[in-house]
Amino acid sequence: METAIIIESLPKFLDGTLVTLQITVLSVILGFILSVPLSIMRVSKNPFIKTPVYCFNFYFRGTPLLVQIFLIYYGSGQFQSFLTDVGLWQFFREAYFCAVLSLTLNTAAYTSEIFRGGIQGVPVGEIEAARACGMSGTLLYRRIIMPAALRIAWPAYTNEVVFLLQASSLVSIITLMDITGVARVVSARSFAFYELFLTAAGIYLVLVYGVIFVFKRVEKRITAHLNPSMLTS
């Protein structure tokens, strides 16, 4: 075991960790923003609103993330002249942009299905009470349904964020230097394969259980009113 290489490459791993976190946080935030309207459309009774979202979710949940990344990163090359004309090629040329875009679309599909479950899990009585108070439309969603749905969906959403953090390792395949990318490049040069991949695995473990810890704290916070034991403390 060559511990020297591990220590030597720690600064690179730190940079890689920052890239991993950046990409994950960006995709989580953008995915969340996308998935809220998507989930509301998904529970609509109008088939013209419901079906496109259903198809989008089915496609992105039914195909591997790697295919989606390649479809956007390499596939956009097939439309280079068109994308140049509309001024988008400068974005699609960048691996970073394509990585964030594909991770965002992927997590939006999974998250909107999770939120759909949350919305459908909101007790009917709460919605009726809100309507009786005169709320409807946006106000009803903003004040009553979405907060309640988010509480119900939170544990599943935690899992999705953890999966996204791990899935972000795939961006190393399209040349980005995240944690996995650093491990791959450094090990290819030094032949210290297991040392470096074990280091990468260790960093991911810390990040994953860190995310779980934070999300569990938030869960306690947002469900505090359902937990009488917190009243005494």
Partner 1 sequence: MFTLQGYGPLLLKGAKLTIIVGAGAMVIAILLGLAAALCKLSRFKIPAMLAEVYTTVIRGIPELVLILLVYYGAPTLIQDFATFLGKEIYVEIKPMAAGILTIGFIYGAFATEVFRGAFLAVPKGQIEAAHACGMGPVLTFRRILLPQMWRFAIPGLGNVWMVLIKATALVSVIQLPELMRNTDLAARNIHKPFTCYFAASLLYLAITIFSLVFQQWAEKKANRGVRRES
**Residues in the site for partner 1, rule: CB under 8 A?**
1, 58-59, 62-68, 70-71, 74-79, 166-170, 172-173, 180, 183-184, 187, 191-194, 197-198, 200-201, 204-205, 208-209
Q: How far is the CB of 184 from partner 1 (least distance, A)?
A: 7
Please state, in angstroms and rounded to a whole number, the distance separating the CA atoms of residues 76 and 92. 7
Please state, in angstroms and rounded to a whole number, the distance separating the CA atoms of residues 34 and 17. 25
Q: Which is nearer to partner 1, 70 or 96 (CB)?
A: 70
Please state, in angstroms and rounded to a whole number, the distance separating the CA atoms of residues 186 and 196. 8
Q: How far is the CB of 167 from partner 1 (least distance, A)?
A: 7
Q: How far is the CB of 200 from partner 1 (least distance, A)?
A: 5
Q: Which is nearer to partner 1, 71 or 224 (CB)?
A: 71
Q: How far is the CB of 164 from partner 1 (least distance, A)?
A: 11
Q: Which is nearer to partner 1, 72 or 140 (CB)?
A: 72
Q: How far is the CB of 105 from partner 1 (least distance, A)?
A: 13
* Helix segments in the chain, DSSP class H: 3-8, 10-42, 47-62, 65-73, 80-85, 89-92, 95-121, 124-132, 137-140, 146-167, 179-190, 193-222, 229-232
Please state, in angstroms and rounded to a whole number, the distance separating the CA atoms of residues 111 and 99. 18
What is the three-class DSSP state of 150? Answer: helix
Q: Which is nearer to partner 1, 152 or 192 (CB)?
A: 192
Q: Which is nearer to partner 1, 135 or 173 (CB)?
A: 173
